Structure 1
Amino acid sequence: MTTVDSRRAPAVLRTAGAREAGRWVAAHCRERPWLTTATVLTTVAGAALQVLPVLLLGRIVDAVADGGPRSVLVTVGALTVAAALLGAAATAASAYLIGRLGADLLARLREGAVRAVLAMPSDRVEQVGRGDVLSRVGDDVAVVSKGIRTAVPTVFSAGVLVAIATAGMFGLDWRLGLAGAGALPAYALALRWYLPRSAPLYRRQRLAQADRAQALISALDGIDTVRAYRLEQPFREKVTAASWRVRELGIDVFRLFGRFVGRENRAEFIGLVLIICVGYALLEAGAASLGEVAAAPLLFHRLFTPLGLIMFTFDEAQKSGASLTRLVGVLGEEAGERLVGDPAVAPPGQVPHPVVVRGLTFRYPGGQDPVLRDIDLTIPAGGSLALVGATGAGKSTLAALVAGIGTPQSGSVRIGPADLATLDEAGARALVSILTQETHVFSGPLADDLRLSAPGATDAQLWEALRTVGADSWVRLLPDGLETPVGEGGERLDVTKVAQVALARLVLARSPVVVLDESTAEAGSEGAAELERAVLAACAGRTTLFVAHRLTQAMAADRIAVLDAGRVVEQGTHDELVALGGRYARLWQAWREGGRAGPDGLPQDFRKGC
């Protein structure tokens, strides 16, 4: 919607707790038992084979100290080389399997989040704001994807290596193992200090990024309204404040992590000193061999690299964890509290229904003044009505309410025999479809993109919908036709083709009522006429409400309603309104002359989506 109200304070989508996110990951891993088991086994084998050369080095030291035969050196050397080669192979296999398991998890998470968002009641999406929604299915997916590629394999592999190396120290001598374990309290204190501070900080950082995205999106989407009400400075200050908040939290994250690294270094120093002191005492007492005493600090030192990797990727892992909780939270979003569908609702694809709006008044949550006041409109079954007016008049808000997005404070919207206020989301969508200028093409085969509105549609039905909107010719030229990947990583479509794909989805939806909110506003003049013909073809035989951004669109409608400050001030056909000599006539005169109207009528703003 292009209507912007700076007084709205949208809520945010649900965020899961760490335990809930962990249970989701564990449940996913249980669904892939062979892949999960192979991943764990190769990771453990790789870690063990990396520790084995250090233990063999202790055997070499003892053999030399005892004057053993040279054959021992050859045997131990061969075993060291074999362990190194096998360890490299196991580590590579582990990285590949972790990537496979992570990619599978990410695909399921991303698809589940997108499905959850698409299944949400439209008024819930409007309530939380698109910034929060887009930051989750966009930024959070990207963060988790990066974490799965880098942080997760590193942390998991390094953690296993730490466990194997610790067990190796106890295998040399339990007293040396206890000496190394003396560093554990220092590590535990460092983690106990860091984790309670870092997790909330990362969550605040992600929320701040969502707030920044919402501020940017609301300002850019409603730029004409912002300019009309001279709200540029308040929105600029809002975006600036949100950006500074993200910057300050980023600095806090870096500062906190630096302090954590210092505590980890102190723990390493404590453990190494304890092992050297205990080893010297055991060697002097003859309670341990020189090889065991030499291998113990090397094993402990072997922990430095994985522990360092864990520390330096913990930042990314924490970010991934924060994003994971937000995505899992979306999966658990509950449906809206609208009532279950009215049995009087007719199934889609039957005769068109009339639209009757009576006494409609609406204000946004937290707003003082209504955006719409006492609106009365009627669109006969199969007829069309165009909404025109200056920026901020309330056209997009009215279109959204007719589409079942939001609930008015008073009045009603009826589609045929059904009151939209009594329908659930599925019932409303069966009766009315809305298409805005924010059209999207999702990554994947074009056929899958088209079937978003009709999952059971056959290829023949897809081609028929494309032919209806004039898109079948360019689709036949694609490398694989309907199966050609489009969107990110596939065929890039220009704005005209994207709009045609959206209109084809509208045809496939077969709802008896259609709401078009500036759906062709982004097309240039070259594609505008083509898209207007496609719109008329897609809406043929259906009751249609246009938010017109070109007066040529308004002329094509059966009737026109002129909105001003949330009220309908004129209604009639194009000829009737021109003859009336009122607001619409002034808009039409300014349009024909190609000049700029004054505050009464804004043809330039009108073209941009008033």
Structure 2
Amino acid sequence: MSGAGTRVAPAALRTAAGGESTRWVAARCRELPWLTAATVFTTVAGATLQVLPVLLLGRVVDGVVQGDGRSVLVTVGIWMGAAALLGAAATALSTYLIGRLGADLLARLREGAVRTVLGMPSARIEQVGRGDVLSRVGDDVAVLSRGIRSAVPTVFSAGVLVAIATIGMFGLDWRLGLAGAGALPAYALALRWYLPRSAPLYRGQRIAQADRAQALISGLDGIDTVRAYRLEGAFREKVTAESWRVRDLGVEVFRFFGRFVGRENRAEFIGLVLILLVGYALLEGDAATLGEVAAAPLMFHRLFTPLGAIMFTFDEAQKSGASLTRLVGVLGEAAEDRLVGDTSVTSADAVPHPVTVQGLTFSYPDAGRPVLEDISLTIPAGGSLALVGATGAGKSTLAALIAGIGHPQAGSVRVGPHDLADLDEAGARALVSILTQETHVFSGSLADDLRLAAPGADDTALMDALRTVGAGAWAEALPEGLDTAVGEGGERLDVTKVAQIALARLVLGRTPVVVLDESTAEAGSEGAAELERAVRAACAGRTTLFVAHRLTQAMAADRIAVLDAGRVVEQGTHDELVALGGRYARLWRAWREGS
């Protein structure tokens, strides 16, 4: 709810635990058994074939010591070359399959998260703040997508290679294997130190980025309020503080990762020293061949590259993991926060209903004072009421409550016989449609964009709705008519046409009550008159509440209510309020002189 003055920090959407995210990924992988099995098989095969040349190199050394013929050495060399080529091919195929599997999982996760967000009650979205929502379905998806393309294949392939190389060392000689395994406690201690500390850091970094986004969005959405109360400096300081917080967390994450790399290098040094010492002792005691002793440090060194890859991509992997927990957390939002059907109210019940607001008081959580206090209003069935007042008076908050977005702490909003507090989100939407200045055209055909409001509408109904709001001429002139692609990658539409599409959806929705919250404010003076005619046509015969951006809109309404600091201070027709000589009359004189 915008335009209400001071807002408080919203409660964020839930974040899943690591185990919950792992179970979600495992469950999705079980739904793709062939792709998952092929990914695992090619990854293991690629790692095995990469280790095989090192084992064969030990055979070459022993062959030279033992005086084997050239043919034996050539044969071993051919096997080494073949293993290297096949290993490279298997690794490339594994990387492709990991990306394919990851892309499928990301698509399911993204679609599920967006579907869950779209299914949440509007009040929940208002509560958590759009910054948190947008950062999850936007930034977190981008971070996870980048991780799936780079970090996830690297970490998975390198992890399998580490396991195969470790097995290979034991295959040379169990004592050499144990010497190499002597580095494992140091690796384990490094990971044990790093993992529990890094996950909260990365999660905190993502939360800080969401808070920064929310600070920017709230400031831009309420720019008129900010300017009216001279709060530019305060909002700038808030955005700056959030940006510094993001920067400080980024520096802390980088510093922390550097310490982790140092601990990993220490583990590598310990393992290599142990292998060299044990290998020398075995060679001196004739307990191992020169080839085995020579291959062991090379095998251990073969671990450096995958371990280094894991370390240097772990930063991105951890970011991806943090984003995964936030997206899976969205999927797990409580069931009561989602839309459910309401069988008692349907949009087909399009006969006008009166709207009665009685003793309404509303406060944001932990706010110092109510945003709205003891509001009482009535809009007769089929009539219209315009809300007028200074920026921050509470007009948009009242409009949202009448549209069923949120519930007041006191009082009631009734639409005909229905108390909105007794209805779920679907029931409220069947009675009341709200149209704000934040109108969107989604990528796809014009017909699909319009059918968002009426999925069963045929082309004739769609064209009738467009003609009603004055958009018939330009819609018919489109290259493919209703099938023309609009939105991103499609036909470019100016703000007037976008607003007409939104109004056409309003016509198709057929709800008995409509709320328009400055829905034509972005059109500017050029399309203002045209859109005001379209608004009147779209709302004809329906109970209508206007949040008036222009006083010409208020003048056209049946009645006007003037809000000041969350209270109704004047009510009446345009002529009555002008004759009264009060607040509205002063606004009207200023408007007329400015025009």
- TM-score relative to the length of structure 1: 0.91
Partner in structure 2 of residue 28 of structure 1: 28
Partner in structure 2 of residue 191 of structure 1: 191
Cα RMSD of the aligned pairs, angstroms, is 2.5
Matches of 1:415 and 1:479 in 2, distance apart? 42
Partner in structure 2 of residue 546 of structure 1: 546
- For 1:137, the aligned partner's letter is V
Contact between 2:121 and 2:337, CA under 8 Å: does it hold in 1? Answer: no
Deviates more, 1:185-194 or 1:546-555: 546-555
Matches of 2:188 and 2:33 in 1, distance apart? 32
Give a deviation string over 1:147-172, Cα, whole Å, max 9, x none. 11111111111111111111111112
Deviates more, 1:14-23 or 1:38-47: 38-47
Task: Give 1:184 shift.
Answer: 0.4
Counterparts in 2 of 1:474 and 1:172: CA distance versus 1, 3 Å = farther
Matches of 2:289 and 2:484 in 1, distance apart? 68
Partner in structure 2 of residue 257 of structure 1: 257
Partner in structure 1 of residue 88 of structure 2: 88
Matches of 2:567 and 2:28 in 1, distance apart? 53
Task: Give 1:331 shift.
Answer: 0.8
Counterparts in 2 of 1:461 and 1:377: CA distance versus 1, 3 Å = same
Matches of 1:386 and 1:247 in 2, distance apart? 46
Across the two proteins, how many residue pairs are aligned to each other? 595
Partner in structure 2 of residue 244 of structure 1: 244
Partner in structure 2 of residue 304 of structure 1: 304
Partner in structure 2 of residue 428 of structure 1: 428
Contact between 2:172 and 2:292, CA under 8 Å: does it hold in 1? Answer: yes
Deviates more, 1:194-203 or 1:129-138: 129-138
Partner in structure 1 of residue 11 of structure 2: 11
Question: SS in structure 2 opposite 1:303?
Answer: helix
Deviates more, 1:343-352 or 1:183-192: 343-352
Partner in structure 2 of residue 558 of structure 1: 558
Partner in structure 2 of residue 122 of structure 1: 122
| Alignment of 1:110 onto 2:97 | no
Matches of 1:340 and 1:373 in 2, distance apart? 31
Give a deviation string over 1:271-327, Cα, whole Å, max 9, x none. 111112212222222222222222211111111111111111111111111111111
Task: Give 1:337 shift.
Answer: 7.4
Task: Give 1:446 shift.
Answer: 5.1
Matches of 2:483 and 2:52 in 1, distance apart? 51
Partner in structure 2 of residue 42 of structure 1: 42
Matches of 1:338 and 1:37 in 2, distance apart? 35
Q: How does 1:108-187 map to 2 (within 5 A)?
A: 108-187=108-187
Matches of 1:178 and 1:462 in 2, distance apart? 75
Matches of 2:249 and 2:128 in 1, distance apart? 22
Counterparts in 2 of 1:491 and 1:141: CA distance versus 1, 3 Å = farther
Partner in structure 2 of residue 521 of structure 1: 521
Task: Give 1:341 shift.
Answer: 8.3
Partner in structure 2 of residue 600 of structure 1: none
- For 2:85, the aligned partner's letter is L
Q: How does 1:395-544 map to 2 (within 5 A)?
A: 395-443=395-443, 447-458=447-458, 461-471=461-471, 474=474, 487-488=487-488, 493-544=493-544
Matches of 1:454 and 1:324 in 2, distance apart? 34
Task: Give 1:588 shift.
Answer: 2.3
Question: SS in structure 2 opposite 1:374?
Answer: strand
- For 1:383, the aligned partner's letter is G
Task: Give 1:194 shift.
Answer: 0.3
Contact between 1:338 and 1:421, CA under 8 Å: does it hold in 2? Answer: no
Task: Give 1:544 shift.
Answer: 1.5
Contact between 2:4 and 2:395, CA under 8 Å: does it hold in 1? Answer: no
Q: How does 1:212-227 map to 2 (within 5 A)?
A: 212-227=212-227
Matches of 1:29 and 1:465 in 2, distance apart? 45
Matches of 2:137 and 2:513 in 1, distance apart? 29
Partner in structure 1 of residue 367 of structure 2: 367
Partner in structure 2 of residue 584 of structure 1: 584
Question: SS in structure 1 opposite 2:522?
Answer: coil
Counterparts in 2 of 1:16 and 1:413: CA distance versus 1, 3 Å = same
Task: Give 1:126 shift.
Answer: 1.3
Contact between 1:344 and 1:417, CA under 8 Å: does it hold in 2? Answer: no
Q: How does 1:343-354 map to 2 (within 5 A)?
A: 345-354=345-354
Deviates more, 1:119-128 or 1:554-563: 554-563
Contact between 2:116 and 2:338, CA under 8 Å: does it hold in 1? Answer: no
Task: Give 1:26 shift.
Answer: 0.8
Contact between 2:151 and 2:316, CA under 8 Å: does it hold in 1? Answer: yes
Question: SS in structure 2 opposite 1:16?
Answer: coil
Task: Give 1:398 shift.
Answer: 0.6
Deviates more, 1:459-468 or 1:581-590: 459-468
Task: Give 1:80 shift.
Answer: 2.5
Matches of 1:476 and 1:296 in 2, distance apart? 76
Gaps of 5+ in 2: none
Partner in structure 2 of residue 391 of structure 1: 391
Matches of 1:471 and 1:412 in 2, distance apart? 37
Deviates more, 1:222-231 or 1:265-274: 222-231
Question: SS in structure 2 opposite 1:357?
Answer: strand
Counterparts in 2 of 1:342 and 1:203: CA distance versus 1, 3 Å = closer
Contact between 1:4 and 1:226, CA under 8 Å: does it hold in 2? Answer: no
Counterparts in 2 of 1:449 and 1:340: CA distance versus 1, 3 Å = closer
Gaps of 5+ in 1: 596-610
Task: Give 1:447 shift.
Answer: 4.9
- For 1:237, the aligned partner's letter is E
Matches of 1:338 and 1:35 in 2, distance apart? 33
Matches of 2:159 and 2:40 in 1, distance apart? 12
Matches of 1:182 and 1:479 in 2, distance apart? 71
| Alignment of 1:60 onto 2:71 | no
Partner in structure 2 of residue 202 of structure 1: 202
Task: Give 1:97 shift.
Answer: 1.5
Matches of 2:465 and 2:374 in 1, distance apart? 38
Matches of 1:339 and 1:272 in 2, distance apart? 59
Identity percentage over the alignment?
Answer: 83
Counterparts in 2 of 1:271 and 1:429: CA distance versus 1, 3 Å = same
Partner in structure 1 of residue 289 of structure 2: 289
Counterparts in 2 of 1:513 and 1:7: CA distance versus 1, 3 Å = closer
Matches of 1:416 and 1:119 in 2, distance apart? 25
Matches of 2:271 and 2:456 in 1, distance apart? 64
Matches of 1:156 and 1:483 in 2, distance apart? 45
- For 1:384, the aligned partner's letter is S
Question: SS in structure 1 opposite 2:535?
Answer: helix
Question: SS in structure 1 opposite 2:544?
Answer: strand
Question: SS in structure 1 opposite 2:508?
Answer: helix
Contact between 2:110 and 2:137, CA under 8 Å: does it hold in 1? Answer: yes
Matches of 1:486 and 1:492 in 2, distance apart? 7
Partner in structure 2 of residue 598 of structure 1: none
Counterparts in 2 of 1:286 and 1:110: CA distance versus 1, 3 Å = same
Counterparts in 2 of 1:340 and 1:130: CA distance versus 1, 3 Å = closer
Matches of 1:78 and 1:444 in 2, distance apart? 56
Give a deviation string over 1:540-566, Cα, whole Å, max 9, x none. 332211111112222332322222222
Contact between 1:402 and 1:413, CA under 8 Å: does it hold in 2? Answer: yes
- For 1:41, the aligned partner's letter is F
Contact between 1:560 and 1:573, CA under 8 Å: does it hold in 2? Answer: yes
Give a deviation string over 1:389-426, Cα, whole Å, max 9, x none. 11111110110110111211222110110001111111
Matches of 1:46 and 1:352 in 2, distance apart? 69
Counterparts in 2 of 1:336 and 1:533: CA distance versus 1, 3 Å = farther
Give a deviation string over 1:60-103, Cα, whole Å, max 9, x none. 22222222122223222322232222222222222221122111
Give a deviation string over 1:489-540, Cα, whole Å, max 9, x none. 6655443343334333333333221111112222233333343333333323
Matches of 2:465 and 2:72 in 1, distance apart? 78
Contact between 1:339 and 1:423, CA under 8 Å: does it hold in 2? Answer: no
Counterparts in 2 of 1:331 and 1:461: CA distance versus 1, 3 Å = farther
Contact between 1:131 and 1:211, CA under 8 Å: does it hold in 2? Answer: yes
